[in-house]
Amino acid sequence: VTAPAAATGLAIFGASGRMGLSVLRLLPEFPSLRLKAALCSATSPAVGRDSGELAGLGANGVSLSAEWPADTGDIGLALDFSVPAAAISNLRRCAASGVALLLGTTGLGADAAEPIEEASRRIPVLVAPNTSRGAGVLMSLARRAAAALGDGYDVSLHDVHHRGKRDAPSGTSLALGEAIQRSVGGPSVRVGYTSVRGGDVVGQHEVRFLGAGESVRLSHEVTDRAVFARGALEAALWLIGKPPGRYAMADLIEEK
Ligand SMILES: NC(=O)c1ccc[n+]([C@@H]2O[C@H](COP(=O)([O-])OP(=O)(O)OC[C@H]3O[C@@H](n4cnc5c(N)ncnc54)[C@H](OP(=O)(O)O)[C@@H]3O)[C@@H](O)[C@H]2O)c1
């Protein structure tokens, strides 16, 4: 009889938020991950509360805290769904502790590139502005369309999200725009961004290639936040044991 492999200890940054709670609710489906730390801001009303109870499950014994544990020996993996102001220091904590990180927080800006490169020399960092499978397919189709259509088409990227989303355009729109520029082969293609924020829309993206006499339209919609949470947990499992480096969702999708 072989003993089951030990579960990997998991930390969640932003555990009290919409995404963090969604991840907590799905965790029971991922027995190879064991929650070890649930983090939020120091001023959060959630500090000290049991994270399982906060997520509407039974108590799990892991309380919400603003403190990264002094001893991280039993944490192998972290998910970050927090805010840009916290995400870079979270990244540095993970690098210093040798903890693999899925960086799901968006709106980080250009200043984040260097700390991500620095951290990815020490740990595997999966930069994942969108962890849904369908959005990965949208990315791959947009790349192919851009390469096939060339620079004679203007590109319009449109995203719609709930009123609580802080960044605009979305991280997904920005990633699509960059991928399209690369696929066309340079900055010659004109890419415009529009965003709408309101209500409880989980996430919609539309890519349009507007040419002379024709246009191509690709779109993707998420109606349930659990799609992001499940994608994040699956991607995080994939990240365990990878050598240090910077990874993207495309690496995982292309490997499949
Ligand atoms: N990768 C993807 O597929 C994906 C999907 C959806 C969303 N996102 C991104 O994930 C991020 C979180 O989204 P959300 O909708 O869950 O946001 P949210 O509900 O506002 O949650 C933000 C979380 O960050 C915590 N936080 C705030 N300030 C902090 C600080 N200074 N230090 C540490 N923690 C802090 C909040 O805790 P308290 O307020 O309780 O302190 C809360 O737990 C956003 O950047 C969003 O764009 C990514």
Closest residue CA from atom 29 of ligand 1: 41
Q: Quote the pLDDT of residue 89.
A: 96
Residue 42 Cα: closest atom of ligand 1: 41
Ligand 1 centre to CA of 192 (Å) is 26
Active-site residues, by number, are 161, 165
Q: Quote the pLDDT of residue 3.
A: 52
**pLDDT tens for residues 139-150?**
999 999 999 999
* C-beta of 83 in contact with ligand 1 (< 6 A): yes
Name residue, tokens 């449109």.
158
Residue 131 Cα: closest atom of ligand 1: 3
Closest residue CA from atom 37 of ligand 1: 40
Q: Quote the pLDDT of residue 228.
A: 97
* C-beta of 172 in contact with ligand 1 (< 6 A): no
pLDDT in tens, the chain (256 residues): 555 578 999 999 999 999 999 999 999 999 999 999 999 999 999 999 999 999 999 999 999 999 999 999 899 999 999 999 999 999 999 999 999 999 999 999 889 999 999 999 999 999 999 999 999 999 999 999 999 999 899 999 999 999 999 999 999 999 999 999 999 976 679 999 999 999 999 999 999 999 999 999 999 999 999 999 999 999 999 999 999 999 999 888 877 7
Name the residue of 26, 41, 94 whose CB sits within 8 Å of the most ligand 1 atoms, as the mutation to test its pocket.
41
Q: Quote the pLDDT of residue 31.
A: 96
Name the residue of 23, 40, 49, 195 whose CB sits within 8 Å of the most ligand 1 atoms, as the mutation to test its pocket.
40
* C-beta of 86 in contact with ligand 1 (< 6 A): yes
Q: Quote the pLDDT of residue 2.
A: 56
Distance of CA 124 to the CA centre of its chain: 14
Q: Quote the pLDDT of residue 174.
A: 96
Residues 6+ apart with CB under 8 A from 91: 80, 101, 103, 115, 116, 119, 125
Q: Quote the pLDDT of residue 87.
A: 97
Residue 166 Cα: closest atom of ligand 1: 47
Q: Quote the pLDDT of residue 1.
A: 54
